[in-house]
Amino acid sequence: MAAVLQVRRESLQVLLWQRAQEPHARRWSLPGGRLRDDEDVEASIRRQLAEKVDVRKLAHVEQLAVFSAPDRVPGGRIVASAFLGLIPCDVDPEVPEDTAWYPVDNLPDTAFDHEAIVRRAQGRLRAKLSYTNLGFALAPPEFTISALRGLYSAALGYRVAATNLQRVLSRRGLLEPTGHTSPPGPSGGRPAALFRFTGHGMLVTDPFAVLRPPSKGSGVDVR
């Protein structure tokens, strides 16, 4: 199964689909299914997301954890290999009627241990935003620093200062200017410069860095 996360409407959201059968019929669950004999687990997850919820444009996929509590599912024992998937904010998949996006901080009644899996995925994303370049998987190809600040703030769960974020990511060599500017807003003003990530494969950039909520008077603490 996969916890597919995306920043939507300024909040970090997860894709859930409603179970049609017992056990836990009508509850919301993470998309997933059984592993075929001719595929590995990542290929299986990508296939299931494409077939069941029409999600095909994943910017990043990684194994999250194995969930193996004996009582996690009623009846026969089922071990789940859970994955984290990330979709850039500029992609809007056409999902079926029984599928919906929910803020990770306001989940509906979920099936089995799926809420715990979502929490694990949220924690993994927050941790990796500290010491890797994984922000590329949330962002569009080009963005303003203000827009990037919004993505990081939604994913981290606290407000990040745009200037501090730019300083941290630029120091690590993760951002570069595109030479373009965004269109002016309704009130006019100076067009904002557009940036992009220098790479789109996950890299550990600062293994000991930890982004923390800002102390008073600052925008983000990096330790």
Over residues 88-113, the pLDDT tens digits come to: 999 998 888 999 999 999 999 999 99
User: In sequence order, which residues have a C-beta less than 8 Å from that of residue 15 and are 6 or more positions away?
Assistant: 4, 6, 30, 31, 53, 55, 95, 99, 100, 101
Q: Are residues 99 and 137 in the same domain?
A: no
- Whether residue 204 sits in one domain with residue 182: yes
What pLDDT is attached to residue 149? 97
* The two three-digit tokens of residue 145, written as one number: 């620093």
Residues 6+ apart with CB under 8 A from 203: 132, 133
Domain end, chosen from 73, 102, 127, is at 127
> Does 190 lie in the same domain as 107?
no
Q: Is 152 in the same domain as 123?
A: no
- pLDDT, tens digit, for every residue of 115-162? 999 999 999 999 999 999 999 999 999 999 999 999 999 999 999 999
Tokens of 38: 């001719």
Per the structure, the count of domains in the chain is 2
- List the CATH number of the domain containing 191: 1.10.10.10
Q: Mark whether 153 and 117 lie in a shared domain.
A: no
Which amino acid makes up residue 223? R
- 49 plus 77 within the same structural domain: yes
171 and 150 fall within a common domain:
yes
Indicate the average pLDDT of the chain. Answer: 91
pLDDT tens string 47-87: 988 887 778 889 999 999 999 998 888 888 888 899 999 99
Strand partners, 176: 196
pLDDT at 76: 82
220 pLDDT tier (thresholds 50, 70, 90): low
Residues 139 and 90: their CA atoms lie apart, in Å, by: 7
Mean pLDDT of 158-184: 93
User: What is d(CA 23, CA 21) in angstroms, rounded to the nearest whole number?
Assistant: 6
Is 112 in the same domain as 168?
no
| Surface-to-core class of residue 143, CB atoms within 10 Å of its CB (0-12 exposed, 13-18 middle, 19+ buried) | buried
Provide the domain limits for residue 97. 2-127
Judgement on whether residues 90 and 115 belong to the same structural domain of the protein = yes
Query: How confident is the model at residue 210, as a pLDDT?
Result: 84
Is residue 149 domain-shared with residue 100, that is, in the same domain? no
| The last residue of a domain, from among 101, 127, 153 | 127
Considering the domain architecture, whether residues 81 and 36 belong to the same structural domain is answered as yes
Residue 220 CB contacts under 8 Å (≥ 6 apart), including other chains: 160, 161, 164, 165, 168, 211, 212, 213, 214
**Same structural domain for residues 117 and 136?**
no
